[in-house]
């Protein structure tokens, strides 16, 4: 029973890690808008506000021309020839940029189409120099597939282990009831009702489930604390912090799952294998 409840808790951790991975993948996807150097701030602000009002857009990050130039210099600190060429220009050759995060990777194409319809300002002059969606299209599609596969993989693994857990619990309690078959036969001979016979086994299974849930909670505390550093380094996920922050969810889920599995398995085992 403890191993069964422990598997249920492991599935919760797996689901949480898959969710963190999907979020990580989605955070790596964006679309950048590069404005022409002489684009007016009013036009840039207008486009930025229009993007923020789109239901597909999560948020928009604005980077000014001066910040773009400084970021470029920071990336090329060791390349003196490039820095000297920038200084000799005498003017900032970069335009401002917008970094756009959509709520879902599949929504970037609609955002890109919105931007393609606004390449020029209200006076007809060039406003946007480039939208990098086409350059990132393949990457976005691949990341979207990876996120979808990760979600489906998590669901399949959860369903598989949940099924195995139920089989383990069912067969364990069935064997326990099998050892009491003679006692049950005697009880039936003296006229005991089906509910009277089932009752002790259901209560016993429920108690086993509750105790197993408590043991599993203690095991998770010890294990997540022991592997905390390794999971942060490997997956950038703090399992111990995840466990503590959602302790009450784990507590109620494991205790109730254990009690329910014990009670239902006991009921079915008595009914099916002892023909009560």
Q: Are residues 6 and 47 in the same domain?
A: no
Q: Are residues 116 and 163 in the same domain?
A: no
pLDDT tens sequence across 36-85:
988 888 888 888 899 999 998 988 999 998 898 888 888 888 778 877 88
Mean per-residue pLDDT of the chain: 82
Q: Are residues 230 and 203 in the same domain?
A: yes
Distance CA 232, CA 230 (A): 5
Q: Are residues 55 and 105 in the same domain?
A: yes
Q: Are residues 132 and 152 in the same domain?
A: no
Distance CA 29, CA 149 (A): 16
Q: Are residues 184 and 269 in the same domain?
A: yes
Tokens of 216: 């599993």
Look at the chain and report how many structural domains it folds into. 2
Q: Are residues 182 and 76 in the same domain?
A: no
Counts of helices then strands in the chain (DSSP H, E): 11, 4
Q: Are residues 228 and 258 in the same domain?
A: yes
Q: Are residues 157 and 103 in the same domain?
A: no
Distance CA 224, CA 242 (A): 9
Average pLDDT over residues 186-203: 85
Can you state the percent helix, strand and coil of the chain, rounding each to 5?
Answer: 75, 10, 20
Q: Are residues 82 and 154 in the same domain?
A: no
Examine the fold and report which residue of 142, 164, 193 is the final residue of a domain before the chain moves on: 142
- Burial classification of residue 23, based on how many CB atoms lie within 10 Å of its CB (0-12 exposed, 13-18 middle, 19 or more buried): exposed
Q: Are residues 137 and 203 in the same domain?
A: no
- What are the strands of the beta sheet with 31-35, ordered from one edge? 57-63, 97-102, 31-35, 128-131
The more confident residue out of 68 and 134 is 68
What's the pTM? 0.60
Examine the fold and report which residue of 82, 107, 142 is the final residue of a domain before the chain moves on: 142
Examine the fold and report which residue of 123, 142, 161 is the final residue of a domain before the chain moves on: 142
CATH number of the domain at 94, please: 3.30.70.3040
pLDDT tier, 272 (very low <50, low <70, confident <90, very high otherwise): low
Distance CA 96, CA 94 (A): 7
- Res 273: pLDDT: 56
Please choose, from the candidates 14, 1, 261, the residue with its C-alpha nearest in 3D space to the C-alpha of residue 160: 14
DSSP 110-170: HHHHHHHTTSB-TTSSB-EEEETHHHHHHHHHHHHHHHHHHHHHHHHHHHHHHHHHHHHHH
Distance CA 202, CA 181 (A): 15
User: What is the extent of the structural domain holding 126?
Assistant: 29-142
- Res 210: pLDDT: 93
Distance CA 25, CA 143 (A): 6
pLDDT at 161 over 90: no
Q: How many residues are given for the chain?
A: 276
Q: Are residues 129 and 186 in the same domain?
A: no
């Amino acid at each position: 029973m403890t191993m069964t409840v422990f598997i249920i808790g492991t599935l919760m951790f797996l689901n949480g890690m898959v969710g963190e991975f999907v979020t990580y993948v989605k955070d790596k996807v964006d679309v950048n808008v590069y404005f022409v150097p002489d684009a007016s701030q009013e036009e840039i602000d207008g486009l930025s506000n229009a993007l923020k009002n789109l239901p597909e857009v999560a948020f928009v990050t604005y980077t000014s021309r001066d910040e773009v130039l400084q970021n470029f210099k920071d990336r090329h600190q060791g390349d003196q020839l490039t820095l000297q060429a920038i200084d000799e220009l005498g003017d900032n050759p970069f335009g401002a940029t917008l970094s756009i995060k959509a709520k879902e990777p599949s929504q970037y194409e609609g955002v890109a189409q919105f931007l393609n319809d606004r390449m020029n300002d209200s006076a007809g002059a060039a406003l946007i120099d480039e939208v990098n969606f086409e350059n990132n299209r393949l990457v976005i599609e691949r990341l979207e597939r990876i996120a979808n596969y990760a979600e489906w993989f998590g669901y399949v693994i959860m369903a598989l282990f949940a099924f195995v857990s139920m089989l383990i619990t069912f067969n364990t309690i069935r064997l326990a009831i099998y050892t009491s078959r003679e006692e049950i036969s005697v009880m039936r001979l003296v006229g005991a009702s089906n509910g009277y016979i089932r009752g002790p086994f259901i209560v016993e299974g429920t108690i086993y489930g509750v105790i197993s849930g408590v043991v599993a909670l203690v095991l998770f505390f010890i294990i997540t604390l022991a592997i905390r550093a390794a999971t942060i380094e490997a997956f950038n996920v703090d399992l111990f912090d995840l466990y503590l922050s959602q302790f009450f969810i784990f507590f109620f889920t494991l205790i109730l799952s254990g009690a329910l599995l014990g009670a239902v398995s006991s009921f079915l085992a008595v009914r099916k294998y002892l023909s009560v």
